[in-house]
Amino acid sequence: MAQELSKSHFINLKQRTMYNFEYQNPVKIIFGKNTIPTVAKEVPTDAKILLTYGGGSIKKTGVYDQVKNALKDFKIIEFGGIEPNPHYETCMKAVEIVKSENIDFLLSVGGGSVLDATKFIAAAALFEDGDPWKILSEKAEVKAALPIGAILTLPATGSEMNGNSVISRVSIQEKKAFGSSKVLPQFSILDPECVFTLPDKQIANGVVDAFIHVMEQYLTFDVNSPIQDRFAESILTTLIEEGPKVLANRKDYEAAANFMWSATMALNGLIATGVPQDWATHAIGHELTAFHGIDHGRTLAIVFPGMMNLKRKNKKEKILQYGKRIWGITEGTDDERIDKTIATTIEFFESLGVPTTLTEYNVPAETVEKITERFKTNGYKLGEKRDIDYREIEMILNDRW
Amino acid sequence: MAQELSKSHFINLKQRTMYNFEYQNPVKIIFGKNTIPTVAKEVPTDAKILLTYGGGSIKKTGVYDQVKNALKDFKIIEFGGIEPNPHYETCMKAVEIVKSENIDFLLSVGGGSVLDATKFIAAAALFEDGDPWKILSEKAEVKAALPIGAILTLPATGSEMNGNSVISRVSIQEKKAFGSSKVLPQFSILDPECVFTLPDKQIANGVVDAFIHVMEQYLTFDVNSPIQDRFAESILTTLIEEGPKVLANRKDYEAAANFMWSATMALNGLIATGVPQDWATHAIGHELTAFHGIDHGRTLAIVFPGMMNLKRKNKKEKILQYGKRIWGITEGTDDERIDKTIATTIEFFESLGVPTTLTEYNVPAETVEKITERFKTNGYKLGEKRDIDYREIEMILNDRW
C-alpha cells in the first residue's frame, strides 16, 4: 500500500525519534448534506467527462439523478459496471473509451472500488512506457494522469483523499496496489446521507477497513510521535463508537457523518507523518481476495489478529498502548494483556457481523499453501521492519482457522 | 481570525449536527533534521527572491548561513528587520522593494511574525483596489498574491500551514487579521533543531499560542464532532506534556519535534472542519498588544480564563469535557468542576512562566475603558454565537486583574 502523501524517511529501524517526512495533501473536500449538486462548480465547464460508476446502486439511491441533473449542461459519457475489487480488464476498456472519445476529466461516482478504478484509468490513459499493467506490477512511475473528481457513496477506503489504488487482474488472480500524487482527486464530495441506503455488510466492511488502515500506521514498533498516536486513537475510538450506531440506525445523520469523516482521516497521509508503516495485513488480505473474492474489509479482519499474535514481541509497546487506551485493558502480565487485546479486537469485528476465521469463509488449506508459495517465489518481505517473509505469512494464516 | 482553509457553513446556531464544510490545505510540509538545505529544490530556479527575516537571530543561529549556502545560485534580495507583531509600515517598505526589484518569490525565514508580514507583502504587492490597508481594515478580497515559501524557526502561530496573517498599524494602535488561500505558503520547512536556540519566553509563548488556537476551535458550544474534538484534545495533551520538556531541555529533539508538529496541527484548518469557532480571546488579546505591545501568546493567557468564566453557561458541556479529558477533573458540581478547570488552566500557563493577570503586565485601568470604547464604536460582536459585545468584553477584562 503506497503512502505517497506522506513520505517518511526511514533513518534507522531502531530509531525512537520521529522520522523526517514530507506531507502534502491538496485534495479539496466538500462535506455535508446536499453537497452533491455542487459538483457543477468543481468540474471545468468545457470538460468532456467520463462518469464512472459501479453496479448501478447509484441509480436506485438517487445519486445518479442528482449528478446528472447538476451536470446537465456538461458533455458526459458514462462508464458503468466497475466491479468491487475492480478489474484491470474493465479499467482497460474504459481507457479505450477515454482515448477514442478524447475524455479530459474523470468523475467517479461510487465507493472506493470505483474511485480506485478511476485512478488507474486516469494514469493508464496517459501512460507511455508500454503496458499500463506495469504501473501495478513493476511500480512504474506515473508521470501524468487525467484529472479526477469524486463523489463518494461509501465510507471505507479513504481513496477520496489519497493517491492510492488497488486493482485486480482476474486472469492471473493478482491484486496489486499503486500510489501516486498524480491521481489525487481534485475534489471529493462526501454527503453522509449516502450512508442511509447502504446494506449492513458494506457498513461493517467499511468500519473494519478504516480501522485497519489506522492500525497499519499505528500498531508498529514504538516511535516518539504522540500527536500521530493520539490522532490514530481518536479515529479508532470514533469508529468503535459510531460504527455500531450506523448499523443500528441507518438514518442517524450524525453517526453517518462521523463515520464518514473518520474513514477519510484514516488514510489521507496525516497519521502516517514521521512514523513507520506496516501494511502486512493488507498485502496478505489482498491475496485472499485474489484467490476467493472475499470482501477486502473481511480479509483484513481475518489476517490482522494473526499478525498481532505473531508480532507480539516486535509491537509489544504499541499493542499494550492500544489495549490500554482503546479498550481499557490494564491488568495482567504483558502477554495476558496482549491476548486480551487480540480477543477484544476480534470480538469488535464479530460484533459488526464480520467473521474473522478462514474456516468461516470456507477457505481451503491449499490457499494458504498457494499464498505462501507466491511470497516464497516473489521474495517480498512485509511489515514495518520487513521481517515478515513467506514463513511468517504461513504462520499468520494458520493462526486463523 | 480567518479560517479560510475550512469554510464551515453555519446552518443553525443551536444545531448539534456537524456543519457542512469545505476543507483544502495544499501546503507542502518538509519536516525534520537538516531539512533547511532542501529549500533549493523548492524555490523556482529562475525566481528573483525577497528573503524576509526579523531582528537577526537567524544570523546567530546559523539558519541564515544554511539558507544562503543552499541558495547561492539564486537571485536574492534581503529584507530584514521585521518586528514581532509586524508593522504595516514595515511591510509597505518591502512592497516598494518587491515592485522596484521585480521580485517574484518571497521566502520567509523566521517565526510567525516574519511569515505573517510576508503574507501581507505578497498580497499587498499585487493589490489593485487602492490602499492595501483595506485588506486588513475592510477585509478587501485578496485576488492575487506572490508565491511564498517558509522556513519556520519558531513553533507557535501555525502560520506555516495556513493562510492567516495578523498585522499591526502602529500609528493608529490597531492590530488586524486577514486570511486568504492566496497567501498559503507553497512549502514550509520545519526543522525542530531551530527550537534548540530559542529563549524560554518564546517557547512558553508558543505553547500558549498553540494551546489557545486549539481552544478557539474546540471550546465552543457542543456539536457532535468526536473526531474533531479528539484531535483537538490530542494536540492539547501533547502541548501539556511536551512544552515543559522543551523548557527543561532545549536540546531534546524529540520534544522539540512533537511541540513543533503540535503547533502546526493546531491551526491548519483540520480541527475546524464542521464545527463552530470562537476567536474572541484572540480579538481581545490583539487589543492588548495594540495598546501595550504585550506578546501575543501572553495576551491570550490573560484573556482566555476570563472568557471561560464569562461563558461558563454557553460552553458548559465543552468546558466540562475539556476539564475531564485533559485535566481529569470529574468531581464536584458542574460549577465547581468549571472553577477547577479554569484554575488548572491558569496554573498550566503560569507553570510555563507566563503571567496571566493584567496587573502583572502593569496594564492601567484606562486600557480596559479604551478597548471597551473601541468595541462599542465598531459594534463588533465576538464568540461563536456572536454574543460577546463591548459589555461582555469589559467583564472579561475586569475578571483578569
Three-state DSSP at A339 gives helix
- How many other C-beta atoms are found inside a 10 Å radius of the C-beta of residue B23? 22
Separation of CA A135 from chain center = 18
Q: Phi and psi at residue A222, in whole multiples of 5°?
A: -80, 125
Which is more confidently placed, B8 or A277?
A: A277
A54 compared with B7, residue with greater pLDDT: A54
The span from the CA of A222 to the CA of A92, in Å, is: 42
Confidence of residue B79 (pLDDT cuts 50, 70, 90): very high
Q: Which residues of A touch B25 (CB under 8 A)?
A: 25-26
Type and span of the H or E element at A152: strand A148-152
- What is the three-class DSSP state of A363? coil
Evaluate if residue A9 carries a pLDDT over 80. no
Residue A119, φ and ψ in degrees, nearest 5 = -65, -45
The complex scores an ipTM of 0.96
- Alpha-helix residue ranges (DSSP H) falling in B101-177: 112-125, 133-137
Mean pLDDT of the region B226-237: 98
Name the percent of chain B lying above pLDDT 90: 94
Q: Check residue B222 and give its pLDDT.
A: 85
Length of chain B in residues, anyone? 401
B18 with A224: Cβ contact below 8 A: no
Cβ of A33 within 8 Å of Cβ of B20? The answer is yes
- Residue-level pLDDT at A58: 96
DSSP 8-state assignment for residue B87: B
Best residue in A31, A186, A270 for a mutation probing chain B (most B CBs within 10 Å)? A31
* Residue B119 pLDDT exceeds 90: yes
B253, B193 Cβ separation under 8 angstroms: yes
**B231 grid coordinates:** 484531535
Considering only CB atoms, which chain B residues are within 8 Å of A234? 226-227, 230-231, 233-234
Average pLDDT over residues A326-341: 98
- Confirm if A305 and A396 have CB atoms less than 8 A apart: no
Residues of chain A that touch chain B, judged by Cβ-Cβ distance less than 8 Å:
9, 16-35, 224-227, 230-231, 233-235, 237-238, 241-242, 253-254, 257-258, 261-262, 265, 270, 273-274
Contact A309, A400 (CB under 8 A): no
pLDDT > 90? residue B5: no
Evaluate whether B191 touches B36 at the Cβ level (below 8 Å). yes
Percentage of residues in chain B having pLDDT higher than 70:
97
The answer to whether the Cβ–Cβ distance between A32 and B23 falls below 8 Å is no
pLDDT band for position B44 (cuts 50, 70, 90): very high
Task: Enter the C-alpha cell of residue B377.
Answer: 464604536
For residues B176 and B2, is the Cβ–Cβ distance under 8 A? no
Residue A254: which of B17, B22, B254 has the nearest Cβ? B17
- pLDDT tens for residues A101-150? 999 999 999 999 999 999 999 999 999 999 999 999 999 999 999 999 99
Q: How far apart are CA B92 and CA B125, in angstroms?
A: 9
Query: How high is the pLDDT of residue B1?
Result: 43
| Mean pLDDT, all residues of chain B | 95
Interface residue ranges in chain B relative to chain A, Cβ cutoff 8 Å: 9, 16-35, 224-227, 230-231, 233-235, 237-238, 241-242, 253-254, 257-258, 261-262, 265, 270, 273-274
Region B33-50: mean pLDDT is 97
- The model's pLDDT over B152-204, given as tens digits with 9 standing for 90+, comes to 999 999 999 999 999 999 999 888 999 999 999 999 999 999 999 999 999 99
Q: Is the pLDDT assigned to residue A12 strictly greater than 90?
A: no
Q: Which residue of A has its CA nearest to B32?
A: A20
pLDDT in tens, B45-72: 999 999 999 999 999 999 999 999 999 9
Chain A positions in Cβ-Cβ contact with residue B9 (cut-off 8 Å)? 32
CB contact under 8 A, B28 and A22: yes
Which residues in chain B have Cβ-Cβ distances shorter than 8 Å to A34?
A: 20
Residue A11 pLDDT exceeds 60: no
Helix (H, G, I), strand (E, B) or coil at A112: helix
Interface test with B, best of A18, A273, A321 (most B CBs within 10 A): A18
Q: CA A126, CA A89: separation in Å to the nearest integer?
A: 17
Q: What is the pLDDT of residue B13?
A: 56
Confidence category of residue B353, pLDDT binned at 50, 70, 90: very high
Contact criterion met (CB < 8 Å) for B257 and A17: yes
What mean pLDDT is predicted for residues B298-322? Answer: 97
Question: Where does residue B121 rank: exposed (0-12), middle (13-18), buried (19+ CB within 10 A)?
Answer: buried
Q: Is a pLDDT exceeding 70 seen at residue A214?
A: yes
In B, minimum Cα distance to A17 occurs at B254
